[in-house]
Structure 1
């Protein structure tokens, strides 16, 4: 299980406003190439993002589904990218002074990705999520200016 955190100069509500806009997903999630649709009610439990992963012309259409949600605090997602597999991705948002700490905890749960030993998988996920949180922070801070 890979855990990556980053502070952002914003309130939890400001971070949540970006997370709650499913159309922004492909702007901050590394590997997501485009959005094809966002279920009404996102990010309610059971709602899905319809996205494509990869690089054109090798794109795979798949979905990410909300498994659990605590508004302004936590999202647990089932991210799919078959044939690579799927993962549980937990995003938490915690106030810390005048900033907010954003954390992504990710673990491959099915498919070929789940067969990769944790000692190899976790550093790769961590590096990807460093960039994802950097992109998310840019979106959040750009909206708050």
Structure 2
């Protein structure tokens, strides 16, 4: 299971507002390339996002289903990405002063991804989810700090990406 943590300069509600807008999914989830449909009930438990992943022309259509929705604290989703398999993604947000600590955990739960040794899989997932949180920071912080440097911009300025 891969785990990434990031402090964002916004409230947990700002983070969950981004997650709740299913049409923003490809803007913050690395690998998602486009949205095809968002269930009207999204992000209610059992509702789905119909997305594609990959780069054109090798794009695969699949879905992500909401397993748990407890804003502004926790969201759990099962992402399908066949032929690679399925993954369980948990996002937790906790206030820390005026900021929010966001934690994302991801684990392969079905398909060929489960056959990859955990330490090898975790390396790739860790890098991917670091960028996912980087993108989420742009969107969530941008809701409230339009004039200030976001943590994502600060990270780039300090030599990271």
TM-score bracket relative to the smaller structure: over 0.9
User: Aligned with 1:45: secondary structure?
Assistant: coil
User: Aligned with 1:24: secondary structure?
Assistant: helix
Aligned-residue Cα RMSD (Å) equals 0.7
Deviation (angstroms), 1:89: 0.3
Deviations 1:57-95 (A, max 9, x none): 010000000111112111110000100110000011110
* Structure 1 position 31 matched with structure 2 position 31: yes
Gaps of 5+ in 1: none
User: Aligned with 2:35: secondary structure?
Assistant: strand
Q: How does 1:32-47 map to 2 (within 5 A)?
A: 32-47=32-47
Deviation (angstroms), 1:119: 1.0
* Structure 1 position 76 matched with structure 2 position 106: no
Query: For residue 54 of structure 2, what is the aligned residue in structure 1?
Result: 54
Deviations 1:36-75 (A, max 9, x none): 0100111100000000001100100000001111121111
Larger Rg: 2
User: Aligned with 2:69: secondary structure?
Assistant: strand
CA separation in 2, counterparts of 1:38 and 1:93? Answer: 23
Query: For residue 130 of structure 1, what is the aligned residue in structure 2?
Result: 130
Higher strand share: 1
Query: For residue 155 of structure 2, what is the aligned residue in structure 1?
Result: none
CA separation in 2, counterparts of 1:9 and 1:114? Answer: 35
TM-score, normalised with respect to structure 1: 0.98
Gaps of 5+ in 2: 147-161
Query: For residue 115 of structure 1, what is the aligned residue in structure 2?
Result: 115
Over 2 Å off, 4+ runs: none
CA separation in 2, counterparts of 1:69 and 1:91? Answer: 10
TM-score, normalised with respect to structure 2: 0.88
User: Aligned with 1:61: secondary structure?
Assistant: strand
CA separation in 2, counterparts of 1:42 and 1:93? Answer: 19
CA separation in 1, counterparts of 2:70 and 2:140? Answer: 19
**Count of aligned pairs between the two proteins:** 145
